[in-house]
Homo-oligomer: A and B are copies of this chain.
Amino acid sequence: MSASAAPTAEYQASDPVQDGRAFRSALGQYGTGVAVITTLSGGVPVGMTVNSFAAVSLDPPLILWSVQNASGRAAAFIGAEHFAVNVLSAEQLDVSRIVASPDAGTDSFSQIAWTEGLGGAPLIDGAIARFECRAHDVLPGGDHQILLGRVEQCTVREGEPLLFVQGGYATHESFSASRVEAGTVTAATDASAASDPAPFVRLVTAVNHRLSRNFDEHRGRFGLSVASSRVLKRLSAGPLTVEDLVASAFLETQAIEDALSQLTEADLVEGDGPTFRQTLTGRAVREQVAENARHFNDATLAGLPEADVAAAYRVLRALAHQPLQFHNTKEKAQ
């Protein structure tokens, strides 16, 4: 392959100056972790949830993140001699939200377990990496300032990271598990269970990966973003406010507001007060999506013996209910 004559037709282009929503949505295509930056300001702990953290330099060890000039918390960080970066684990969605809340005050730190790091900057218990930084530089970045920190100590623990992808929270599945081992399962159909470590786990992972991808592509989104599809789904149960949606859709406020704008423009949702509801067109689209899903389910299981399918449902339901008996109790103790 080489350079072709014209861009692929399926791309949507936008001018980021004219259309901030499209620009934010494009930025969301790049997945990130979630970090809580903390400092001590006038003896009081201050925190911000960000996804602008990035590694910069190994020697000297430098990292960066950005703070919005308009943020009420910017001054505390720009004037700080020390700050800490806490990389959140997949178990810490609540920590992300407590700190991200627009009216989060110093009392957020009474709802979170933490210890004091260098310069008093809070180190959050359970974070999978914590970088204790001395302020190194503050650089101009448009409506943000870019803060560089020189890392004086880092602490890590095992755990799965919390991710932020396409406007919503997520976890990861490594290629090793989802692809290579899925490949192994597919190739070695009837490999003996004894020689294949945890074969049932691998098989479920392989099937999940395949079905999820098929289903994603099958269901279609009627030109809606991932976030808009999810918001429309939540609204199919009844009218909701932005706050209700934040609590139930695992999306952040900005992503929900952008989704509501998109849905309103497409005449799928209406509402201008605090409450939003599906329109008749929105309901019709949701019904089409549900119909697609039923069709997918039927097509997936078609051709398999009915008794086997019924037994598979029984086994999977039992496993979905199985207590987390192998769960590491140390982790839960936090």
Cβ-defined contact, B193 with A201, below 8 A: no
Contacts A13-B154, A293-B198, A326-B214; A175 near B180 (Cβ below 8 A): no
Give the docked Cα–Cα distance between A226 and B182 (Å): 18
Cβ-defined contact, B4 with A113, below 8 A: yes
**Residue on B nearest A151 in the bound complex, by CB:** B16
Chain B CB within 8 A of A46 CB: no
Cβ-defined contact, A59 with B20, below 8 A: yes
Give the docked Cα–Cα distance between A155 and B26 (Å): 7
Chain B CB within 8 A of A241 CB: no
Q: Inside 8 A of A221's CB, which chain B residues have their CB?
A: 158
Contacts A165-B161, A174-B170, A312-B311; A153 near B15 (Cβ below 8 A): yes
Cβ-defined contact, B4 with A87, below 8 A: no
Cβ-defined contact, A161 with B210, below 8 A: no
Chain B CB within 8 A of A71 CB: no
Cβ-defined contact, B319 with A211, below 8 A: yes
Within 8 A of B (CB), among A179-203: 179-180, 182, 185-186, 189-190, 193-194, 197-201, 203
Cβ-defined contact, A320 with B182, below 8 A: yes
A250's partner among B27, B131, B180, B322 (CB-CB below 8 A) is: B180
The stretch of A257-265, A266-274, A302-310 in contact with B is: A302-310
Q: What's the minimum C-beta distance from A202 to chain B, rounded to whole angstroms?
A: 9
Chain B CB within 8 A of A279 CB: no
Binary contact readout A27-54 vs B (1 if CB under 8 angstroms, 0 otherwise) = 1011111010000000000000001111
Cβ-defined contact, A26 with B93, below 8 A: no
Cβ-defined contact, B214 with A325, below 8 A: yes
Binary contact readout A195-221 vs B (1 if CB under 8 angstroms, 0 otherwise) = 001111101111110111111111001
Chain B CB within 8 A of A256 CB: no
Cβ-defined contact, A169 with B158, below 8 A: no
Q: Inside 8 A of A197's CB, which chain B residues have their CB?
A: 289-290, 293-294, 297
Give the docked Cα–Cα distance between A285 and B311 (Å): 36
Q: Inside 8 A of A11's CB, which chain B residues have their CB?
A: 130, 155-157
Binary contact readout A120-157 vs B (1 if CB under 8 angstroms, 0 otherwise) = 00110110111100000101111110101001111111
Return the 4 tightest CB-CB contacts between A and B, nearest first: A57-B142, A197-B293, A311-B311, A16-B61
